[in-house]
Structure 1
Amino acid sequence: MSTAILELREYRPTESTDTHDFHQVVIGLSGRMSMSLDGDATRYGRVASRNGVVIPAGVRHDYRGDGPNRQVVLDVPSRLAATTGSQRAFAHEAFFALDASLLALARRVSARSDGARPLSADDPVVREWLGALTARLAPARPAQRTVRLDLARIDARLRTALATPPDTATLAREAGMSVRHFHDAFVAIAGETPHRHLMRLRLAYADRLLSTSDATLADIALEVGFNDQSALTHAFRQHYGQTPAAWRRECHARPTSG
């Protein structure tokens, strides 16, 4: 590979593994994908519309798309990283939150009518991306190397207490971080805020209860952490596009296999 390639990609919902001899950056535009780095379960995260992941050359990464997704992917040969002074941005693998500059660049790529056309190293947009990535990633490296969040552990912690979950201050204290640092680190690795993440876990559990149990909507609302049935209905409709009652009727109307 002799040139940088910047293009839009969609990752399939199947487990895949890759290692390559060039650096790579993946930034979310829509949907979500999951990834673990270097075979380390504690380096597991998700790429969504508020974050990205940098994968230095030679680092193994296991990944899959979590449903429909669109990602900006930049493949950077080591020689180009050296000649542009951006090699320090690829010194370590890490998830990172997008700053205003990278958000604006992602939106520009998304808005391009020919966005599917790969861009080479000669394109000014590629050089602009490398500059923005270096400005965002290089200063954050020391904190990212010394403090890690175990997203899988946090997920398990929240799932066991959806009705009365630990607050952000408690999770931050357990991670040995300030609340602000924890919030920023969480967005970097999960692609969403702790509050939005908790809401998504609650709705996913409500979805499962609606399809597998005969519990009333009021009881389900309380079990997954909503104050009442009305709050569950409002959040569920926003997320799934229909009410819990309609969702349950649809689930029960589906033919069962076997």
Structure 2
Amino acid sequence: MSAPILELREYRPTDSTDTHDFHQVVIGLSGRMSISLDGDATQSGRVGARNGVVIPAGVRHDYRGDGPNRQVVLDVPSHLATMTGTERAFSYEAFFALDAKLLALVQQVSARVDDGCPLSADDPVVCEWLAALMARLAPARPALRSVRLDLARIDARLQAELATPLDTATLAQEAGMSVRHFHDCFVAMTGETPHRHLMRLRLARAASLLTNSDATLADIALDVGFNDQSALTHAFRRHFHQTPAIWRREHTGGGVTASVN
């Protein structure tokens, strides 16, 4: 590879492993992908629409798409990073949160592709995006390197107590961090806030219970931490774009629809 490659990719929902001789940055546009760096549990995260990951040359990464996803991927030859003085941006593997400028520029890059324009390193929008990306990564390397959360443990804690959901302050205390630092690290490693992540877990559990049990919607609401059936219905419709009753009918053949009314 003699020049940077910038393109949109979708990662398949199969476990894959790769190691390459160039640096790579992956930034989420839509959907999610899971990725583990160098087999380190504390360097396992998810790339979504609010974060990205730096993968230096030679770093093994295990990854898989979590359903439909769309990612902006930048491949940078190692020698080019050295020549341009940007090698500091690729000194360590790390997840990072997108700032407002990068979020806006990523959307512009995506819009160019949707309009049928090929991605080119000479495109003014692409050049501005690359400059903003390098500015975001290079000065922040020491801070980014300190992002270490055991997401598997956090998920297990949340899943075990969905009926009485843990708050961010409790999770931060258990991680030995301030609430602000925990929040920032969580967004950097998952692309979503702790609150949004918890809501997604609660709704996923609700959907599973609707499909695999004949519990009433009121009971399911309490089981996953909602105050009442109305609150669950509102959140469920907003997330899945259909009511719990329709979800249950479509996923069970209509056999237990009456229990959610």
Shorter-chain TM range is: over 0.9
The runs of 5 or more residues in structure 2 that have no matched partner are: 256-261
Residues 27 and 51 in structure 2, CA contact (< 8 A), matched pair in contact too = yes
Residue of structure 2 in register with 1:232 after alignment: 232
Residue of structure 2 in register with 1:247 after alignment: 247
Residue of structure 2 in register with 1:161 after alignment: 161
Which letter does structure 1 place at the counterpart of 2:139?
P
Q: Distance in 1 between matches of 2:44 and 2:244?
A: 31
Which letter does structure 2 place at the counterpart of 1:128?
E
Residue of structure 2 in register with 1:59 after alignment: 59
Q: Distance in 1 between matches of 2:254 and 2:67?
A: 21
TM-score, with normalisation over the residues of structure 1? 0.93
Tell me, yes or no, if structure 1 residue 105 matches structure 2 residue 105: yes
Residues 206 and 224 in structure 1, CA contact (< 8 A), matched pair in contact too = yes
| Aligned length in residues | 253
Residues 9 and 73 in structure 1, CA contact (< 8 A), matched pair in contact too = yes
Deviation at 1:136, TM superposition (A): 1.1
Deviation at 1:133, TM superposition (A): 1.9
Q: Residue 52 of structure 1: SS of its match in structure 2?
A: strand
* Larger displacement relative to structure 2 (164-173 or 202-211): 164-173
Deviation at 1:238, TM superposition (A): 0.6
Deviation at 1:163, TM superposition (A): 1.4
TM-score, with normalisation over the residues of structure 2? 0.92
Q: How do 1:1-258 and structure 2 match up within 5 A?
A: 1-112=1-112, 113-115=115-117, 117-120=118-121, 122-253=122-253
* Larger displacement relative to structure 2 (75-84 or 128-137): 128-137
Deviation at 1:124, TM superposition (A): 4.9
Q: Distance in 2 between matches of 1:249 and 1:95?
A: 40
Deviation at 1:114, TM superposition (A): 2.6
Residues 102 and 132 in structure 1, CA contact (< 8 A), matched pair in contact too = yes
Q: Distance in 2 between matches of 1:175 and 1:145?
A: 16
Residue of structure 1 in register with 2:259 after alignment: none
Q: Residue 42 of structure 1: SS of its match in structure 2?
A: helix
CA-to-partner distance for each residue in 1:188-245, whole Å, 9 max, x for gaps?
A: 1011000000000000000111111111100000000001000000011011111111
Which letter does structure 2 place at the counterpart of 1:71?
Q
Distance 1:194 1:51, change over 3 A: same
Residues 248 and 254 in structure 2, CA contact (< 8 A), matched pair in contact too = no
The percent identity for this pair of structures is 79
User: CA RMSD, aligned part only?
Assistant: 1.6
Which letter does structure 1 place at the counterpart of 2:183?
H
Deviation at 1:146, TM superposition (A): 3.4
Deviation at 1:84, TM superposition (A): 2.3
Deviation at 1:126, TM superposition (A): 4.8
Q: Residue 152 of structure 1: SS of its match in structure 2?
A: helix
Q: Distance in 2 between matches of 1:246 and 1:156?
A: 29
Residues 94 and 147 in structure 2, CA contact (< 8 A), matched pair in contact too = no
